[in-house]
Every structure is written in C-alpha cells, then in structure tokens.
Structure 1
Amino acid sequence: MYTSKITGLGYYVPENVVTNDDLKQWMDTSDEWIQERTGIKERRWIDPKTEDTTAVMGAKAARIAIERAGLTKDDIDFIVFATLSPDMYFPGGGVQVQEMLDMPTIGALDVRNQCSGFIYSMSVADQFIKTGMYKNILVIGAENHSGGLERSTRGRGVTVIFGDGAGAAVLSRSEDASRGILSSHLHSEGKHATKLVLEGPSTQRWVPEILEKNDPEDQTYFPYMDGQFVFKHAITRFSEAINEGLEANNLQKEDIDMLIPHQANLRIAQFIQKKFQLPNDKVYNNIMKYGNTTAASVIIALTEAWEKGKIKDNDLVVLAAFGSGFTWGSVIIKW
C-alpha cells in the first residue's frame, strides 16, 4: 500500500489589505471591538479592478505548489478543489484550474465542506493515492468572500471575520510508510446546519422569488452565523478530532511538533492550544492578518509555517478544522 506525501506548497492572497479601521466606512465598529472578539487585525479582499477570482487565486497558488514539488502541470493526475465561493453556481473551480493551467484532460473534483473543505480534500486525495489510482494530486482551497458580505452594521458580526485567498498542495505517491499522511478523520452533524449558513439563492429559493419579493429586510442571501453556538461546538469538536488522530496513531499530545488549526477565530485556537498545553512555537496562527479564509485557511497557514522553517523533516504536523455543516476533521502528518 502506498502513502501520500506533501511535495509542494503554495499560497496566494490579494494585494488589497483591509484593516479594521477601514471597515468603519461601512459599519459601526472599531479595531478594539474586532480584535477582542476575533483576534483579527486585517484581512485581504479582492480588488474588483483586478483579475482575481476564486479560481484565478487557486490557479496562482497551484503554480507555486507544482513548481516547488519539482513537477510540471503535465505530471498532475487529478485535481481536488475546495471552496464555498466558486466563480459560478456551476461548474466548479476544479475544471477552471485545469483550463487555466493548460493541463491534460485529468479529472477534477469539487468539495463543498466550507471551513473543513481542505481537510476533507486532503483525505480524498490521500485515498486516491493509497489505492494506487493516482500518483500526483493537486489539492486547492480557495475563497472569495468579500463580494458576498453584508457591508453594514447589521452584518458586521460576520463581515469583519472573512477574507479572500487561496492555497494549494501537491500530494505525491510514496513507498515510505513511516512518513506522509498517517491518517485522516472526518465527521459531520447536520442538525446544526442552520447555525452557520447561507440560505439563498438556492434550489429552495431561486433568484426570481427573491427578486419578486424585493424585501430590503431579507438577509438570507448573506451568510448567517450564531457565533456563540458555533464557538461552543468548535472547541469541543476540534479537541475530539485532534485526540482521535493521535489515538489512531498511538501518539500523545506531547508528540505534536506543529498544530495548524483552521483560522476561524483566534480565541478558538488559543483555547485549543491551552487545552493541549502546547507552547506558542507549536501552534501556527495567521488569522490576525488574513481573517477567516474558510477552505483556504489551513493550507495558507501550513504553507506559511513551512516557508518560515517552523516545520522540519520528521515533525508531527496536525491539521484540524471545524465549520458549517457542521463538519469537522483532522489530518495527521509525519513530515
């Protein structure tokens, strides 16, 4: 049986920096209010005058990851693209990246698992490689949130949190069972789906209905989050997913060399860090400067941590995420 190893990493974020003070032009807020609740100081939002879209950012990150893997676009056998904000309702971003990178007619799979999208995508790619079906898989997480946020005081509880960006990893076949992805663990609990949701437009509420109603108070086409409810469940599920991964591999929390949590809220990450008694140098957070980039957050943080030399050969790296669905999971990696 083969194992899968990360051979290339890359990320891309828009140049346009939006600080907490910048948000004052749209809503009643302050830098202190946002930092106290989320830890976020700034985020990147796509400038509409640029070419950037979810797929374009994904392709930019992918080019970097492929080059760092020492491969060419023609060496990639399959694409897994995670996002909640595709350029089009359909088709998804995977086929757009295939075209943008001028790749052969390889398969492209889109994953819609929101904040845990990259974790799910890594697990899918890992299984394809372990069975011998593919040798090199491009895994992308990309999001364009800014265009769909309610830029008003009414929407500030969600809007201040989210940013745009993309990250990519190349997973390659390896015969070294002691390194690479050791295991992945995925879960869901759909009964809480409406606690973090974007209801429409959808097949339950098509655009003509929304236009006909023309209700200025209608908020269903903006993201909704019950913040306290999500926070409470996130800290529980994060811990469960990490412990499940450690137990599956006969490891202890002391064995963790680097924890990369989904960048949902700095307070959640700090709570998990304290619970697992991990020092600052064993947890990587960058939500302060990028906000929550949903499916892109784990891979952007992983790439940054690796670029800064915080992840070394033979390190035990734990990826974990929780988000809308609810869905959550973890990936345990021996670097």
Structure 2
Amino acid sequence: MAFNSRITGVGSFVPPKIYTNHDLEKMMDTSDEWIIQRTGIEQRHWVDESTSTSDLALEASNIAIADAGLKASDIDMIVFATLSPDHDFPGTGCFLQAKLGIPNICVFDVRQQCTGFLYGLSLADKFVQSGSHKNILVVGAEVHSKGLDKTPKGRAVSVLFGDGAGAVVVSRTEVKDKNKDAHVMITNLHADGSYAKELWVPAPGTAVGPDRMSHGLIDEGLHFPEMNGKTVFVHAVKRMAETLTQSCKEMGVTVNDIDLFLFHQANLRINSKVAEVLQIPEEKIYNTIQKYGNTTAATIPLGMHDAIKEGKLKEGMLVASAAFGSGFTWGSALWRY
C-alpha cells in the first residue's frame, strides 16, 4: 500500500523581547538605514538569559500538535533542526522530547543550518511514506542571540539573526486526487562541503588544535560566526532558483502554478533576486524577515504559521519553499496545503 504525508498542524513561537535596528545602533557601528538597505530587516526577537532553544521549540510544538488535533502522545517521531543546541550533546531533540513528556519514540537532530527544516521535512515525509510512522513532529528552532558578537567587529553578521521556533506535524494521509488533496509532493536536497568555511563557526571543535575550546580561541573570536557575504549571496540566488526549478519540473508544474512561495528568510535581497530570476510576482512571496530577522531553521515554519494566521495561506493552495545555508546546503519542497 502506498502512503503519503501531509502537514496537518503548524505552530510557531518567538520570545517577547524585540530589538529594533535602533537598539543595535547602541551596541555596534551600524544604522537602521544600513541594515534595511542591505537585508530588509527592521527588528528581531532575542531571548532572555534563562531561555533555551528547546524552550522555544516546546511552545511552537504544543501549538502545532494542537493544530493537528492531536495529543503529544500521538507523536511517534521528532525531527529537530537547529544550529544552536541547548548543549553540545545530547541532541536538543532529546531535551524537547522530555519536555513534551513522550519518552521512547525516535528522535533525530538535523544540523543543516538554514536548510535544516527542509531536510527535516524530507526525512519525515520519507518515514511516513515507508509506513513505519504516522505523526512526525518537525521542528526548526534557534537561539542565535547568545552566540553573536554584539560589538562593532561583529556587525556584518550579528544584525542578521533573530531567535524563534516553528514546528509542523507531518501525518499519514490518503491522496485520491493529487491536484486537490493536501500532501507533500516532493523534497529536493543538495550540499557542497567545499564551501563549508564561507559561512561557519570555527570553534569549539576538534579541528582547532589540542583542545576543543581554549582562552586563545575565545580571544581570537573564533566562537563567533564568520561569513563571506558576497559568495553566500551569489550561491544562494543560483542554488535556490535551480532547486525550485528542478522540483517543479519533476512534478510537472511551473512557477506560475504555485500559489504561495515560503522562502527561507536570510536576506530580502536574496528572495527578491530569486523572484527576478524565476519571474515570480513579488505578491506571491511571503516574507517575514522584516520583523524576525534570520531565524535559520525556523524561518519557513515560522512564516508558514504567520501566513495561515493572516489568511495568506489557505487550504488547497500549492506551496513552494526553497532554502540555502551554511555547508553549503540547499533544497526545495512542493506541497499542497
């Protein structure tokens, strides 16, 4: 028997404290005009000192599970995408599992940065298709604010990132009409590790000398993210357009058939350029980077939830997502909501 999957529940959560570009002007050599012109970001949410990534994920997960009409005990797998774990090990999915009170089920942590949610969605879709699982919780959550260089030296990267979480429940479904029934149609994933150091955090790690972390590494600032912005921009536009085109071709649709585009929110200029390359009307792209910044693995489900609440995403719509991030990793997905 053939199985299909569909997104049955969506949830999101951001910490209440908002930091505007004007707040960042007081921390580093930057300006509201500079940030908006280069990124489109106007504000971002940052956690307080006591909040962790799994705390944000728990809030989003509970909303998604309830939206699916399920209880936590109905979830039979967790796929957690994050680059900002609660601890080095165990994976943050285990901490979320404990907070949800659902022991014994399978838990995966996905470390594919900005493409993490699409990798997680693909993994969930494949497990549901196999027939082994019925309701899989896919989470993207990040606490960036505790790992940023908030001095003038770090302004190029630190202005970009916000904290937040998004979650979906991927459930088994029967598809009678693929042109109408809600289901995940395709996921398309790629990576090229030869660009790993174009966007990365060098330390801590086992490749930085005799110790994973040392005062010397901290003094050099190697525990802060580093980015070659121009290289990332060029590759992001190229790869997002390529993978989305590939997914559409494999499904026998065109970009004109897509009702709504939920792109990863790294930079408003990237999404606008992808739209230009693929000739997508701007009104079909739903962006949230203006108010959340780049929340990495959380951007797509976070945007999905906002789009639903605002009436932009409705049942029956054909939706496309594409993402690009550190690794380099990139991917796309098409689904009927």
- Report TM bin, short chain: over 0.9
Match of 2:260 among 247, 258, 261: 258
Q: What residue number does 1:136 align with? A: 135
TM-score scaled by length of structure 2 = 0.96
Q: Which residue of 2 aligns with 1:282?
A: 284
SS in 2 for 1:166: strand
Contact 2:272 2:282 in 1 (8 A): no
Seq. identity, %: 46
Q: 2-side partners of 1:166 and 1:293: how far apart?
A: 8
Alpha-carbon contact 1:74-1:104 (below 8 Å) kept: no
> Deviation of residue 52 (structure 1)?
2.2
Provide the C-alpha distance between the structure 1 equivalents of 2:231 and 2:328, rounded to a whole number of angstroms.
11
RMSD: 1.4
Return the alpha-carbon distance in structure 2 between the equivalents of residues 213 and 309 of structure 1. Answer: 51
Q: Tell me, what secondary structure is at the counterpart of 2:205?
A: coil
Partner of 2:29: 28
Among 182, 188, 209, which residue is 2:191 paired with?
A: 188
> 8 Å contact 2:206–2:212 — kept in the other structure?
no
Partners of 2:166 and 2:218 lie apart in 1 by 37
The 2-side partners of 1:209 and 1:78 are apart by: 32
Q: Does 1:244 align with 2:254?
A: no
**Structure 2 residues not aligned, in runs of 5+:** none
* 3-state SS in 2 of match to 1:261: coil
User: d(CA) in 1 for partners of 2:268 and 2:330?
Assistant: 17
Verify the 8 A CA contact 2:217 2:223 in the aligned structure 1. Answer: no
Letter in 1 for 2:253: L
1:262 is paired with a residue whose SS is coil
Structure 1, 18-27 or 5-14: larger mean CA deviation: 18-27
CA distance in 2, matches of 1:7, 1:182: 14
Asked if residue 204 in structure 1 is aligned to residue 186 in structure 2, the reply is: no
Per-residue CA deviation, residues 179-219 of structure 1 (Å, 9 max, x unaligned), is 31001000001101000010100122379564353673x13
The answer for the alignment partner of 1:73 in structure 2 is 72
Tell me the secondary structure at the aligned position of residue 154 of structure 1: helix
Report if the CA contact (8 A) 1:116-1:328 is conserved: yes
Q: Give per-residue Cα distances to partners, 1:47-101, cap 9 Å, x unaligned.
A: 21xx421001001100000001000011101000000000000011111111101
Query: Which one of the candidate residues 296, 299, 302 is aligned to 1:300?
Result: 302
State the shift of 1:107 in Å: 0.9
Find 1:220's aligned residue among 219, 222, 225: 222
C-alpha separation between the residues in 1 aligned to 2:197 and 2:215? Answer: 24
SS in 2 for 1:157: helix
Measure, in 2, the Cα distance between the counterparts of 1:16 and 1:206.
38
Check if 1:269 corresponds to 2:285. no
Match of residue 167 from structure 1:
166
Give 1:104 deviation, angstroms.
3.5
Equivalent residues, number: 332
Aligned equivalents of 2:201, 2:144: Cα separation in 1: 12
2:37 is matched by which residue type in structure 1? E
C-alpha separation between the residues in 2 aligned to 1:205 and 1:140?
Answer: 30
User: How far apart, CA to CA, are the structure 1 residues paired with 2:135 and 2:292?
Assistant: 29
Q: Deviations over 1:199-246 (max 9, x none)?
A: 100122379564353673x13210000001100000000100110110
Matched to 2:109, the amino acid is D
**Whole-angstrom CA distance in 2 between matches of 1:201 and 1:209:** 5
- Counterpart Cα distance in 2 of 1:273 and 1:331: 16
Task: Tell me which amino acid in the other structure corresponds to 2:205.
Answer: S
Q: Structure 1: how far apart are the matches of 2:146 and 2:218? A: 20
Q: Which runs of 5+ in 1 are unaligned?
A: none
Q: How does 1:138-153 map to 2 (within 5 A)?
A: 138-153=137-152
State the distance in 1 between where 2:217 and 2:27 align: 22
Residues 19 and 46, structure 2, Cα contact 8 Å, conserved in 1? yes
d(CA) in 2 for partners of 1:121 and 1:209?
A: 28
State yes or no: 1:314 paired with 2:313: no
AA at the equivalent of 2:202: E
Alpha-carbon displacement from aligned partner over 1:22-60 (angstroms, at most 9, x marks no partner): 012221110000000000000001121xx4210010011
Give the corresponding residue for 1:82. 81
Query: Take 1:36 and 1:293, find their aligned partners in 2: how far apart are those partners?
Result: 19
TM-score, structure 1 normalization: 0.96
Partner of 2:156: 157
Partner Cα distance (2:325, 2:281) in 1? 25
Once the two structures are TM-superposed, the CA of residue 13 in structure 1 deviates from its matched residue by 0.2
